[in-house]
Amino acid sequence: MTVSRITVHGDEPYDVVIGTGILGELPGLVGERPRSVAVVHDEGLPEIARPVLGVLEQAGYLVHSFAVPSGERSKDVSVLARLWSEFAAAGMTRTDAVVGVGGGATTDLAGFAAASWLRGVRCVLVPTTLLAMVDAAVGGKTGINIPEGKNLVGAFAPPAGVLCDLTTLMTVPREDYISGLAETIKAGFIRDPRILELVEADPEGAARPDGPHTRELVERAVQVKADVVGADLKEAGLREILNYGHTLAHAIEKAEDYRFRHGHAVAIGCVYAAELSRLDGRIDDALVERHRAVFSSVGLPVVYGADAWPELRSTMNIDKKTRGATLRFVVLDELGECGRLAGPAEDVLTAAYARVSR
C-alpha cells in the first residue's frame, strides 16, 4: 500500500493523503489532542461511514455520528443549526474535532460547522467523490447555500488534513464520477496540461474510477489546487483562477435549483469562459475547440438552453468575483495561464453564450 502526501502550504499547512485502502491513516490526521470526534456524514453512505466510525473508535476516541442529507440539500442553514445543537448535546469542546465524510456538499457543510462551532475546532475531511477529492475538500473554503445563491455564506477555514481513499470512488455512480472529471479537466486548462493529455489519450479510462490513470489524475489535480491555495488562501488574487468557468456554472446551478450536477455546469462554464477568452483576442479557435473535445470525450455537456440566458445573466451579477457593478471573469491568456476580464461588453457576453447554447 503506497501513500502519497501533498502538502498545502500557508499559515496552517496540512497534508492531503492519497492512496487505496488507507483509512488507517485517519487517526493520525485527527491527532492526539481531541477526546471526542463528531463524524458528519452523508446519510446515503452508511457503508463508508461505518468503517470511519470503527477506525476512530478503535483509536480510542469518543465518537458521535451525525447523518446529514445527501447532496446540496445538506448545505442549508437549518441543517447547520441542527449540527450546532447536536454538537452541544454531545459536549463537544474546543479541543475536540469534526470529521466530514462524503461528497463536496458534505465536506463544505462539515468544514463550516467546525469553523463556526466555538469559533473553530479541528476538522479532518474524508471526501468520497472525485469532485470532493480534487476540489471541495482541499483549500479551506467552507459554506452553505441560501436562496439567493450558492456558497454565499461561509468561511475560509483550512482543515487539519484530508484523506482521499481511492477505494471509495468505486461506489460513486457513473454520472457523478464523470461530473468530478470537470474540475480535474479544468485544472489541466488553467495550470497542468498533462492532465488534458492523460484524458485525451484514454477518455474511456479517464471516465472510470478503475482507469489506468485515476490516481495520477487525482494527484495532479490536487497538486494544482494545493499550489494555488497554499499561495493565496483567501482569494486575494491567484486563487481566483480556480473559479475558471464557475461564473456561468453557478448561475446554471441556481437556475436548476441545484439539481444540476456541479461538474456538468462547470464543463459548460469553462467552454463559455474559453469563448470569452477567444472573443477578447487572448486564445485561438483551436484551444476553444479543445475545451469542447476534452469535456465531451468523457461525457460532459458543453451546451445549455438558449432561452435561459436572461436569468443566467441576471444571476451572474452577484458572483463573488463581481466588484461593485463590474462583472469579472477568469479567462485564459494561453493554455495553463489565466487572466482576468473585467466589465466585458454586453454584446460580447451574449455572443459567447450563443456559442454554448442550443
Residues annotated within a binding site for NAD(+): 70-75, 104-108, 128-129, 141, 150, 168-171
CA distance 8 to 15: 6
User: For residue 35, which phi and psi values (nearest 5 degrees)?
Assistant: -95, -45
DSSP secondary-structure letter at 304?
A: B
The runs of H, that is alpha helices, within the chain are: 26-30, 46-58, 77-89, 104-116, 130-131, 174-190, 194-201, 203-206, 214-231, 246-255, 262-279, 285-297, 309-315, 346-354
User: For residue 94, which phi and psi values (nearest 5 degrees)?
Assistant: -70, -15
CA distance 95 to 99: 13
User: What percent helix, strand, coil does the chain show, rounded to 5?
Assistant: 50, 20, 30
Annotation: binding site for Zn(2+): 183, 246, 262
Of the chain, the end-to-end C-alpha distance in Å amounts to 48
CA atoms within 13 A on the CB side of 39: 27
Annotation: binding site: 70-75, 104-108, 128-129, 141, 150, 168-171, 183, 246, 262
C-alpha cell at 245: 468557468
Residue type (1 letter), 175 = E
Residues whose CB is less than 8 angstroms from the CB of residue 33 and which lie 6 or more positions away in sequence, other chains included: 95, 122
Q: Which residues are catalytic?
A: 119, 141, 183, 225, 235, 239, 243, 246, 250, 262
Under 8 Å between Cβ of 249 and 330: no
How would you classify the pairing of strands 328-334 and 337-342? antiparallel
